[in-house]
Amino acid sequence: MEDKKIKIEEKIEDKKGIKTEELVPSSRQLCFNKDWLLRLNSPAAINNFICLICGQISNNPIEINCPQHKNLDGPLIVGEHCLEQFLSANSNLLSSSFAQCLLARRCVSELSVMCPLQFEQDLKAPNQRIKCNFNGKIRELNSHLDNSCSFNQSECWFKPFGCDHNCCKQELEKHLISNVKPHFDLVIKSFDALKRNLELLQGESKQLKLQNQQLKSEMQSKKSKDAEHLTLLKENSVSKFKQNSIYNMHIFVYFVIK
């Protein structure tokens, strides 16, 4: 068992230094970029939260309880997502015990950060006009990215009419102002299509009404013919009955007289 634990630790050591490829992954589960956090935090404030697997700052820190490393000064911390990935790739190895480190999670959530999209923009194109001035806590980050970040993509107001343009919120007003005529043309085009559809529906409705009236007329005519036919059958039946009665009476009289 000790040999297997050593193998685990060796595998973790081999993975040290691996950096996250995305600052803001869609799942928001990867560990946090260390360079990003150092913009507003000192190394001393983040060193206790470095993930043993990827070398970044642990997201949802998990503490490893390993007897082999009980003499280390600092805690053995890994990011939850990194640990899940590691265990998934090494399911044949026994692992030490793990526990959520609530204190570390609380401390990480209180670290000050700038907007990660702004940080990424500064690395790629620092002179861009669009800026996001967010400075807050990590615990506030999701709300910022979902609701107020300047880099959020916004759909054009005229998308229901056919405009598929997407841009940052700060650029949306410029797009609307510079495309008044194209947007107006889209509205007119959409209105004309709606008008044609309405005329088509009205024509189909009129045709259905005519067909309905014709069907009613045919049903009424058939009903009248059926009534006439029934009356005629009744009259024929009565006439035949009378004839049969007279015939039977004559036969009866004939035999009585005879």
Q: Cβ(116)–Cβ(135) under 8 Å? A: no
- Residue 109 pLDDT > 90, yes or no? yes
Which of 7-11, 25-29, 34-38, 59-63 shows the lowest per-residue confidence on average (mean pLDDT)?
Answer: 7-11
- pLDDT of 251 reads 74
160 and 107 within one domain:
no
Q: Cβ(113)–Cβ(23) under 8 Å? A: no
22 and 108 within one domain:
yes
Instruction: Identify the band that residue 57 occupies on the pLDDT scale cut at 50, 70 and 90.
Output: very high
- pLDDT of 8 reads 42
- DSSP-derived secondary structure for the chain: -HHHHHHHHHHHHHHTTPPPS-SS-TT--SPBPHHHHTTTS-HHHHGGGB-TTTSSBPSSEEEEE-GGGTT-SS--EEEHHHHHHHHHHTTTS---EEEE-HHHHHHHHT-EEE-HHHHHHHHH-TT-S-----EEEGGGHHHHHHHT-TT-EEE-TTGGGT---EEEHHHHHHHHHHTHHHHHHHHHHHHHHHHHHHHHHHHHHHHHHHHHHHHHHHHHHHHHHHHHHHHHHHHHHHHHHHHHHHHHHHHHHHHHH-
Instruction: Identify the band that residue 7 occupies on the pLDDT scale cut at 50, 70 and 90.
Output: very low
Per-residue pLDDT tens digits for 178-219: 999 999 999 999 999 889 999 999 989 999 998 898 898 888
Instruction: Kindly report whether the global pTM for this prediction surpasses the value 0.85.
Output: no
Residue range of the domain that includes 176: 152-228
178 and 109 within one domain:
no
Domain assignment of residue 189, yes or no: yes
- Looking at the structure of the chain, the number of domains it has is 2
87 and 41 within one domain:
yes
Instruction: Identify the band that residue 24 occupies on the pLDDT scale cut at 50, 70 and 90.
Output: low
Distance CA 47, CA 78 (A): 12
- pLDDT of 95 reads 53
Domain assignment of residue 75, yes or no: yes
Domain assignment of residue 164, yes or no: yes
Distance CA 120, CA 24 (A): 9
CATH assignment at residue 70 = 3.30.40
- Residue 232 pLDDT > 90, yes or no? no
Domain assignment of residue 249, yes or no: no
Domain assignment of residue 14, yes or no: yes
What is the mean pLDDT of the segment spanning 94-111?
A: 84
Instruction: Identify the band that residue 119 occupies on the pLDDT scale cut at 50, 70 and 90.
Output: very high
Average pLDDT score over the chain: 80
What is the mean pLDDT of the segment spanning 155-164?
A: 89
107 and 7 within one domain:
yes
What is the mean pLDDT of the segment spanning 47-52?
A: 90
Instruction: Identify the band that residue 228 occupies on the pLDDT scale cut at 50, 70 and 90.
Output: confident
8 and 107 within one domain:
yes
- Residue 10 pLDDT > 70, yes or no? no
97 and 157 within one domain:
no
Domain assignment of residue 11, yes or no: yes
- Residue 69 pLDDT > 80, yes or no? no
- Residue 3 pLDDT > 50, yes or no? no
Opening angle at CA 148, ends 136 and 154, nearest 5? 150
Domain assignment of residue 147, yes or no: no
110 and 209 within one domain:
no
170 and 104 within one domain:
no
Choice between 66 and 63, residue whose per-residue pLDDT is larger: 63
171 and 75 within one domain:
no
Domain assignment of residue 192, yes or no: yes
85 and 19 within one domain:
yes
99 and 7 within one domain:
yes
